[in-house]
Amino acid sequence: MTPRHAPLAAHGVGSSQDLPLPFDLVLQAGTVAVVLSFLAVTVLWRTPRAGGARRLPAVWDAVLRSRAWRVPLRLVVLAVAGYVVGDALLGPRDATNPAAHALFVWLWVGLVPVSVLLGPVWRGLNPLRTLHAGLCLVLRVPVSGLRPAAAPGGRTGHWPAVAALLAFVWLELVAPDRTDPRLIGTWLTGYAVVQLGCALVRGASWFARGDGFEVYSELAGRLSVLGRDDDGRHVLRSPLAGLTAVDHPRGSTAFVAVWWGSTIFDSASGSPVWAGFVQTTGAPVPVATVALVGVCALVAASLRWTTRRADIALPLVPIAAGYTLAHYASLLVVEGPRGLLLLVQQWGVAPGAEVRVVPDPTVVAVVQVVCIILGHLVGVLAAHDRALRAAPGREHTLVVADELPAVLLMVGYTWAGLFLLFAV
């Protein structure tokens, strides 16, 4: 991050000294929690469990479906997005511009907890979908596209979203002057042009597989207790219900690998050792780019090698979401309100005011540890259930044996996540 936006670099607590327990004890506890949970499910969880869902009362379902609030909210989100992009391109080029906070804090970080709580909200709020609907109306282009995909998932699956997400994390973690409003505005404009162009050709369904942020929200929303049944009715469900669904577009595992790998890279790149190494190379951007792609590829390869299954993406979602919440917990609490203040101050509201949110380091440290361990525990449960579904009638001990490499990998990533958060 550039000096004028230095607070945006403060993602985590930053030191094992903030932990209320010895760091080695935390590592051991995380390992024991993952292993014991696996042993418990192998004994108690011998058949797939669909995870019951209960429909909401009709009145609440009608409220959630109502266009009376959905349409105005979409227009508000579109207006805010348009203002942020315009301000990034034409507004002040200093720390008073809220563009970096809007993109890196509100959207990238805030979308995970909101989606985990409320479901895939970005699908209904996506300003690109609103713009696409307007363009189709003006240009008289079918909403289904000029050349609709033959199948809802298309032959490409989530691979376009993988490319979109990789482009974003490169901007966030590697690009020089990445908090420069002009760079952010240019990137967002280019991203919108590409997405809208593809949607005009392939139809509105493109966003569900090509927009990195919508796929990001959709996967995180799998953990929400608020979902929909096959008839489209809103239901209350177990968080595991969304992780045991049979739908699995191509590229989903790669998407989770980029999501997870980029967060790991962000943690590792904050160490003095990495900073010193990159500067000595004389080519920090190419080196960091190769390292970012390499970490994401390593995560993807380790997942496929240990599981040897293509449908492992959904059980990995709670792990990726947990690590994201742990890594960016303090950033969201500290910089989220500050970004909102910067936005309203441009409208003449509360001039000269400051927001100083200083979370207790011990509280943040505990939240980070809980998020990582809880994410892995839910991942173990989801992976075990999917393994049972994939091999109906197979001997239980053989199913468990096939899961052991994945469990060992989860233990390793638990250690890595805790180490990178508190020891680097």
- What is the pTM for the complete model shown? 0.90
Question: What is the per-residue pLDDT across 321-367, written as a single tens digit (0 to 9) for each?
Answer: 998 998 888 888 888 999 999 999 888 887 777 877 777 878 888 88
Burial readout 389-402 (b: 16 or more C-beta within 10 A, e: otherwise): eeeeeeeeeebbeb
Instruction: Name the phi and psi angles at 368, rounded to 5.
Output: -65, -45
Q: Write down the domain spans for the chain.
A: 3-422
Instruction: Name the phi and psi angles at 71, rounded to 5.
Output: -65, -50
β 234-237/226-228 pair status: antiparallel
pLDDT of the residue at 111: 96
DSSP state of 132: H
Q: Secondary structure of the chain: what % helix, strand, coil (to 5)?
A: 70, 0, 25
In terms of phi and psi (left: phi > 0; alpha: psi -120 to 50; beta: otherwise), the region of 277 is alpha
Copy the structure tokens of residue 118.
């409320």
pLDDT of the residue at 2: 42
pLDDT of the residue at 261: 92
pLDDT of the residue at 289: 95
pLDDT of the residue at 308: 63
pLDDT of the residue at 39: 82
Burial readout 322-340 (b: 16 or more C-beta within 10 A, e: otherwise): bbbbbbbbbbbbbbbebbb
Copy the structure tokens of residue 416.
């890595």
Rounded Cα distance between 388 and 68, Å, is 43
Low-confidence ranges of the chain (pLDDT < 70): 1-23, 50-51, 150-154, 246-247, 307-312, 423-424
Question: What is the per-residue pLDDT across 259-271, written as a single tens digit (0 to 9) for each?
Answer: 999 988 988 887 7
